[in-house]
């Protein structure tokens, strides 16, 4: 049986990001649940010293997921999780 995530991700994974890095990774936990991760290796710390590109990229991806889900008749809700550690490109944000 096809996962409900498949058609949503086929569109959302093409979301543009600054410098086209697409730093997101999504782990599908179940048909109703997924976890969004930041792939640090795909960030640009030398160009994005403030982290603004990164914040924009993740926000654009979340918004794309929301729009594509709504188009499929689904409601997407998200909860932000702050588990950053020292050395993380986003560790200066609170």
Report whether pLDDT(89) > 60: no
pTM: 0.76
Contacts made by residues 52-59, CB under 8 angstroms, sequence distance 24+: 53/17, 53/18, 53/19, 54/23, 54/89, 54/90, 55/90, 55/93, 56/17, 56/18, 57/17, 57/18, 57/21, 57/22, 57/23, 57/24, 58/23, 58/24
The pLDDT tens digits for 50-85 are 888 888 888 888 899 889 989 988 888 877 766 654
pLDDT at 1: 59
* pLDDT of 39 above 60: yes
Q: Give per-residue pLDDT as tens, 1-36.
A: 578 888 888 888 889 888 888 888 888 888 888 888
């Amino acid at each position: 049986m096809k996962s409900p995530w498949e058609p949503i991700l086929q569109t959302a994974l093409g979301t543009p990001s600054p410098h086209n890095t697409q730093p997101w990774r999504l782990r599908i936990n179940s048909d109703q649940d997924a976890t969004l991760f930041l792939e640090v290796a795909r960030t640009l710390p030398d160009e994005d010293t403030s982290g603004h590109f990164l914040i924009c990229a993740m926000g654009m991806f979340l918004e794309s997921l929301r729009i594509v889900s709504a188009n499929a008749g689904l409601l997407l809700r998200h909860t932000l999780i702050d588990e950053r550690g020292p050395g993380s490109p986003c560790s200066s944000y609170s």
